[in-house]
């Protein structure tokens, strides 16, 4: 079999070179004629599989292949669901000054793609090795809901952990009286919250809040406590659990309350940050639920003027506490708000994307194999009403273009159509179950096209975050 050496990947260890090569099918292999690392899973002399064992050895001997915490650097997560996009992501990040998180998947994504945290890590690492990337990069276990979720990400070497306490965010009716609100707190664990209700209320209302344009009454504090108090306690438990598991290893800790039905008011943002600080939780980034709609795979939906007005206050709260980034979840394709967020937060921003790289893979498929793409789109239309249940989306089946009415040349344009784009986005798991093998074969044969497509798409995402 013929192998083509990937020049950017060449490294040396104890006088012996190692590199990646690819065959005519686009499959990659690790080449090490001298094998100084003791690689296993040999395919033929000096040619080794990209196995988990060999990935672990590479991380052991080449430190830059390990992810690390990124702190308060401007950063972006790429959310590669197919394990083939990191090389294209690197082309976009090169020279940007933005810190990348190349390994980023949620538990939900891993279930739907049938991948493990370790596989996601290894796929990203091989992309880093292939491109000769030497700058820091991160690995994010996204939307972790309980302690059981944490373990596999810690074991796989992740350095960034996104806690999702959404199940503990409660509805609070602002129309009812303070007496009724207090009665609804009968089951709240003030002992774990380390403060009495009376002391909590006094801490907010005996002095002016230190951020302009934020005022609060006892009623506001009670609403915030009911809405987010149990979520904060859950975050505290997760932080202590994670700290124990990580030992002395540093890590980035993100708190996400974005996947809820109610926006996070500016006072509630202040309340969350203030109470987490009081409880000793150390966080790197916070994802509020902003006003408007952050739907999957499409631009921001809402009043941009209102968003900017409120975001400036969110940013003022962030600057007051001074030790964290604001994280933009469901951040893919929200081009209309990137500049607002970046400049007002002094670039202390984390952009989280996921499905947009998968959609760009489908764009390539529409160009290369329109027949298969047509099947996938038709399948996604019919599957949409089932798969959309766990997402905040508003596309409607009746408004989606009918595939039989489109020529092959028109198919790539579906990736720019709101209705079609959301159907393709949320049905990724079902599509991969049905068509995943064929999609991966096509991408491996057309890696250069996919890399270029990803680079162009992600360069658009990063442009407003470059200082």
Q: Identify the H or E element spanning 20.
A: strand 16-22
**Domain limits at 31?**
4-61
Tell me if 343 sits within 8 A of 315, measured CB to CB.
Answer: no
The active-site residue out of 123, 130, 140, 254 is: 254
Task: Find the Cα–Cα–Cα–Cα dihedral 331, 458, 20, 443, rounded to 10°.
Answer: 90
Mark whether 244 and 379 lie in a shared domain: no
Mark whether 263 and 141 lie in a shared domain: yes
Q: Which of 61, 79, 99 is the last residue of a domain?
A: 61
The active-site residue out of 109, 123, 140, 142 is: 142
Mark whether 274 and 297 lie in a shared domain: yes
The domain total for the chain is 3
Asked about 142 being catalytic, the answer comes back as yes
Paired tokens of 409: 């040349």
pLDDT values of the chain reduced to their tens digit, one per residue, 467 residues: 789 999 999 999 999 999 999 999 999 999 999 999 999 999 999 999 999 999 999 999 999 999 999 999 999 999 999 999 999 999 999 999 999 999 999 999 999 999 999 999 999 999 999 999 999 999 999 999 999 999 999 999 999 999 999 999 999 999 999 999 999 999 999 999 999 999 999 999 988 899 999 999 999 999 999 999 999 999 999 999 999 999 999 999 999 999 888 999 999 999 999 999 999 999 999 999 999 999 999 999 999 999 999 999 999 999 999 999 999 999 999 999 999 999 999 999 999 999 999 999 999 999 999 999 999 999 999 999 999 998 989 999 999 999 999 999 999 999 999 999 999 999 999 999 999 999 999 999 999 999 999 999 999 999 999 99
Q: What is the distance between the alpha carbons of residues 410 and 374, in angstroms, rounded to a whole number?
A: 11
Q: Which of 61, 77, 103 is the last residue of a domain?
A: 61
Contacts of 38 (CB under 8 A, 6+ apart): 57
Q: What is the distance between the alpha carbons of residues 235 and 231, in angstroms, rounded to a whole number?
A: 6
Mark whether 46 and 85 lie in a shared domain: no
Mark whether 159 and 233 lie in a shared domain: yes
Tell me if 267 sits within 8 A of 220, measured CB to CB.
Answer: yes
Asked about 259 being catalytic, the answer comes back as no
Side-chain half-sphere exposure of 233, counting CA atoms within 13 A = 17
Q: Which of 61, 92, 110 is the last residue of a domain?
A: 61
Grouping H, G, I as helix, E, B as strand and the rest as coil, residue 162 is strand
For Cα atoms 259, 261, 262, give the angle at the middle one, nearest 5 degrees.
Answer: 105
Grouping H, G, I as helix, E, B as strand and the rest as coil, residue 433 is helix
Determine how many CB atoms are found less than 10 A away from the CB of residue 392. Answer: 16
Grouping H, G, I as helix, E, B as strand and the rest as coil, residue 4 is strand
């Amino acid at each position: 079999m013929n192998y083509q050496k990937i020049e950017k990947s060449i490294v040396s260890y104890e006088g012996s070179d190692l590199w990646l090569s690819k065959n005519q099918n686009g499959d990659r292999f690790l080449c090490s004629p001298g094998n100084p690392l003791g690689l296993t899973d040999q395919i033929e002399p000096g040619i080794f599989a990209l196995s988990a064992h060999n990935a672990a050895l590479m991380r052991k001997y080449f430190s830059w292949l390990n992810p690390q915490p990124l702190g308060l650097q401007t950063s972006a997560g790429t959310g590669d669901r197919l394990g083939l996009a990191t090389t294209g992501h690197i082309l976009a990040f090169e020279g940007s000054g933005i810190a990348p998180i190349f390994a980023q998947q949620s538990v939900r994504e891993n279930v739907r793609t049938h991948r493990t945290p370790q596989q996601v890590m290894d796929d990203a690492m091989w992309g880093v090795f292939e491109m000769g990337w030497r700058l820091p990069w991160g690995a994010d276990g996204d939307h972790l809901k309980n302690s059981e979720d944490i373990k596999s990400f810690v074991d796989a070497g992740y350095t960034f952990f996104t806690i999702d306490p959404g199940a503990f965010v409660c509805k609070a009716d602002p129309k009812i009286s303070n007496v009724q609100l207090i009665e609804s707190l009968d089951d709240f664990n003030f002992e774990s919250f380390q403060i009495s209700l009376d002391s909590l209320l006094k801490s907010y209302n005996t002095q002016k809040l230190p951020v302009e344009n934020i005022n609060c009454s006892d009623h506001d504090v009670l609403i915030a406590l009911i809405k987010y108090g149990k979520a904060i306690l859950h975050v505290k438990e997760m932080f202590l659990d994670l700290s124990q598991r990580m030992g002395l290893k540093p890590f980035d800790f993100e708190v996400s309350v974005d996947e809820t039905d109610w926006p996070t008011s500016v006072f509630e943002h202040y309340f969350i940050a203030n109470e987490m600080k009081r409880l000793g939780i150390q966080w790197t980034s916070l994802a509020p639920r902003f006003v408007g709609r952050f739907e999957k795979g499409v631009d921001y939906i809402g009043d941009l003027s209102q968003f900017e007005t409120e975001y400036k206050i969110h940013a003022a709260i962030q600057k007051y506490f001074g030790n964290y980034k604001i994280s933009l979840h469901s951040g893919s394709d929200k081009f209309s708000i990137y500049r607002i967020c970046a400049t007002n937060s002094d670039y202390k921003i984390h952009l989280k994307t996921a499905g947009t790289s998968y959609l760009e893979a489908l764009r390539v498929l529409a160009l290369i194999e329109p027949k298969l793409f047509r099947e996938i789109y038709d399948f996604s239309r019919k599957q949409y009403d089932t798969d959309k249940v766990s997402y905040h989306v508003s596309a409607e089946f009746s408004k989606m273009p009918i595939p039989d009415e489109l020529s092959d040349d028109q198919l790539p344009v579906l990736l720019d159509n709101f209705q079609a784009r959301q159907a393709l986005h949320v049905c990724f798991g079902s599509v991969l179950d049905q068509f995943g093998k064929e999609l991966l074969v096509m991408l491996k044969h057309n890696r250069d096209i996919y890399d270029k497509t990803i680079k162009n798409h992600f360069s658009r995402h990063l442009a407003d975050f470059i200082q």
